Amino acid sequence: MGADSNRSRFALILPAAGSGQRLGESIPKPYLSIAGRTILEHTLQPFVDTGALVHVVIPTEKNYIKTARERVITSFSHLSVEVIEGGSERQYSIEKGLDAMKAAGIDAKWVAVHDAVRPFITVDEIQRCLDAAVKFGAAIVAVPAKDTIKMVDLDKMVDQGDSAGNQDTYRIKHTPNRATCWQAQTPQIFDSTILKKAYEQARETSAVGTDDASLVEALGHDVYIVEGRRENFKITYPIDLTLTRWLMEGENA
């Protein structure tokens, strides 16, 4: 059953404060233009297409607040949107997004968090994740790990400094069963009360999580996985941007 059938409506926090440094670009990744639109606009479109989005908060770099607002309002004139200055880390940007929704009186039952540079998310994945969140209180999109995962001992790092320029060598500590390993993606969707409590606890304990689900897990709440697609990758390295341009410009040629 889709999200519209459930009459479930959600707010979205779309962190867009990532730089383009690792891509070798001079502007932040979300504002790179491909096939006539910014990556930010491409990413937001499927959420709008669900028909269930009631509000979006975009934490971004201070110098790009105006750009984000203009691009989003131009493309999605009917959308309730707020653009704010993001935090120094992703976690703090999400926290500021939750605070902004509270200040604006947005009382959405469900809150989705999605990386602004995952433009290949689909309406189907969003709706299935929302359905799972409605059922269980917390759900994320993820894919099974295709490579064997190695846990390393950070205390046993060796500075090799060899002629190839490789500086760090790590000792393997443990190899988990690959069948139990999944690679987390976004969106990650939660009952807003649960997500707020998770961030409150993180603030009180100075805990840092690499994603929102880890903070909810630390709260003691179960989080469920909805299987996604490998095409829902995060644009991080130059090869990711090359692939994105090929896919988007090919589709729009």
Task: Give pLDDT tens digits for 116-127.
Answer: 999 999 999 999
Summarize the confidence of residues 28-48 as an average pLDDT: 96
What mean pLDDT is predicted for residues 67-85?
Answer: 95
Least Cα distance to 101 among 115, 126, 84 occurs for: 84
Q: Say if domain 10-142+183-251 classifies as CATH 2.130.10.10.
A: no
Say which residue the tokens 């962190």 belong to: 15
| Rounded alpha-carbon distances, angstroms, from residue 93 to 15, 65, 115, 179 | 7, 13, 11, 33
DSSP H helices, 9-52, are 39-49
Give this prediction's pTM: 0.91
190 pLDDT higher than 60: yes
Q: How many angstroms separate the Cα of 32 from the Cα of each of 19, 41, 104, 118, 232? A: 11, 10, 29, 13, 18
Section 209-234 average pLDDT: 97
Give yes or no for residue 164 having a pLDDT over 70.
Answer: no
- Residue type for 225, please? I
List the one residue out of 14, 19, 45 whose CA is nearest residue 32. Answer: 19
Q: Give the percent of the chain with pLDDT over 70.
A: 88
Distance, in Å, from the CA atom of 123 to the CA atom of 235, rounded to the nearest integer, reads 19
Candidates 106, 131, 109, 98; CA nearest to 192 is 109
Q: Which two tokens stand for residue 222?
A: 């179960």
pLDDT of residue 31: 95
Tokens matching residue 233: 């990758």
* Token pair belonging to 111: 């809150």
Query: Sorting pLDDT into bands at 50, 70 and 90, what band is 6?
Result: very low
- Is the confidence at residue 23, as pLDDT, over 80? no
Q: How large is the average pLDDT for residues 214-234?
A: 98
Identify residue 235 by its one-letter amino acid code.
I
Is the pLDDT at 208 greater than 60? The verdict is yes
pLDDT at 26: 76
**b/e per residue 198-213 (b: at least 16 CB within 10 A):** bbeebeeeeeebebbb
Burial (Cβ within 10 Å: 0-12, 13-18, ≥19) of residue 232: buried
Is pLDDT above 50 for 60?
Answer: yes
- List, by residue range, all CATH 3.90.550.10 domains of the chain: 10-142+183-251
122's tokens: 């689909």
Burial of 14 (0-12, 13-18, 19+ CB in 10 A): buried
Check residue 168 and give its pLDDT: 75
Is the pLDDT at 163 greater than 60? The verdict is no
Under the banding of pLDDT at 50, 70 and 90, the label for residue 238 is very high
Region 157-174 average pLDDT:
71
